[in-house]
């Protein structure tokens, strides 16, 4: 990896969005994906938070990678991630209080998100800051993409709303349509994530 071309950088960025998606292919970060996706807004904020944290922790670790002692590298990575998570959580509390209440402990739990540690260990420790940044943004968005899909399905069928606005017209309810209470439960998001992975794998198989 001595010389990096833009096509390779593009690959670094686009790969985690589809072919190597952290949730659909690597099946990482499932815990938070199940917990925060009952509505679209928290799902998007969570996706963006993870994207920001992955990108910046990747950059910081990549900048420090030649100075980090091998024996305490995991600790250094954790401290960087924990600091960024705390900062993001404080910012959410100050500027989008409702969403931070909805996300509750899951912002703090980003620290233990496998995607983060995975990218730091596997990518940022070996690559330059710019590539690491792209890799972080790519993986974060790959994660966010699945969260948004699941959040969209769950909010639409569970509450009949999108972003809190009613989209299923009243007349449907008058004809006997009911919101699916199952959709609001975490178990349902596991099933939806399963369906997304199924669809994703059968599409990618055809391409091969």
Partner 1 sequence: MNLSKLKETNTYIIIYATVMVIIVAFLLAFISSALKPTQDANVLRDTKNQILISLNLTGLKGEAVDRKFAEVVTDTIQVDDKVVYQASVEGATKYVLPVKGRGLWGGLWGYISVDEDKQHVYGTYFDHESETAGLGARIKERWFQEQFNGKPIFTDNPQQVALTVVKKGQSKAETEIDGVTGATLTSNGVADMVTNGLQSYIGFLAGGQASGCKKPLNERCGRCKAGMACPEGESCEAESCTEVEQN
* Stretch of 50-58, 151-159, 165-173, 184-192 lying at the interface with partner 1 (CB under 8 A): 184-192
- Ranges of beta strands (E only) in 23-178 are 161-162, 165-166
Q: Taking the complex as a whole, how short is the minimal distance between the CB of residue 122 and partner 1, in angstroms? A: 21
C-beta closer to partner 1: residue 86 or 126: 86
* Stretch of 25-33, 108-116, 170-178, 181-189 lying at the interface with partner 1 (CB under 8 A): 181-189
Q: Taking the complex as a whole, how short is the minimal distance between the CB of residue 35 and partner 1, in angstroms? A: 8
C-beta closer to partner 1: residue 90 or 126: 90
CB 113 within 8 A of CB 52: no
H or E segment and range at residue 193: helix 186-207
Q: What do you get for the CA distance between the two ends of the chain, in Å?
A: 27
- Cβ neighbors of 181 (< 8 A, separation 6 or more) are 158
By CB under 8 A, the count of residues binding partner 1 is 25
Alpha carbons 53 and 59: distance in angstroms, whole number: 10
Q: 90, 91, 83, 89: which is closest to 61 by C-alpha? A: 83
- What part of residues 59-118 is at the interface with partner 1 (CB under 8 A)? 66-72, 75-76, 79-80, 83, 86-87, 90-91, 93-95, 97-98, 101
Site for partner 1 contains 186 (CB under 8 A): yes
Q: Taking the complex as a whole, how short is the minimal distance between the CB of residue 21 and partner 1, in angstroms? A: 26
C-beta closer to partner 1: residue 145 or 153: 153
CB 20 within 8 A of CB 139: no
Site for partner 1 contains 31 (CB under 8 A): no
Q: Taking the complex as a whole, how short is the minimal distance between the CB of residue 94 and partner 1, in angstroms? A: 4
- Cβ neighbors of 55 (< 8 A, separation 6 or more) are 133, 136, 137, 140
Residues that bind partner 1 (CB under 8 A): 66-72, 75-76, 79-80, 83, 86-87, 90-91, 93-95, 97-98, 101, 184-186
């Amino acid at each position: 990896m001595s010389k990096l071309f833009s096509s390779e950088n593009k690959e670094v960025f686009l790969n985690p969005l589809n072919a190597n998606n952290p949730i659909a292919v690597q099946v990482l970060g499932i815990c938070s994906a199940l917990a925060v996706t009952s509505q679209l807004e928290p799902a998007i904020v969570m996706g963006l938070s993870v994207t920001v944290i992955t990108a910046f922790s990747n950059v910081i670790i990549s900048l420090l990678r030649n100075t980090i002692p091998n024996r305490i590298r995991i600790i250094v990575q954790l401290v960087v991630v924990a600091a960024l998570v705390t900062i993001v959580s404080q910012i959410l509390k100050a500027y989008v209080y409702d969403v931070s209440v909805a996300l509750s402990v899951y912002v703090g739990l980003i620290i233990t998100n496998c995607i983060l540690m995975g990218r730091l260990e596997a990518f940022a420790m070996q690559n330059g800051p710019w590539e690491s940044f792209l890799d972080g943004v790519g993986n974060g968005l790959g994660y966010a993409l699945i969260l948004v899909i699941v959040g969209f399905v769950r909010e639409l069928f569970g509450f009949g709303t999108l972003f809190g606005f009613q989209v299923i017209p009243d007349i449907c309810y008058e004809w006997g349509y009911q919101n699916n209470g199952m959709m609001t439960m975490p178990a349902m998001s596991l099933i939806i994530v399963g369906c997304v992975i199924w669809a994703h794998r059968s599409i990618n198989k055809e391409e091969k």
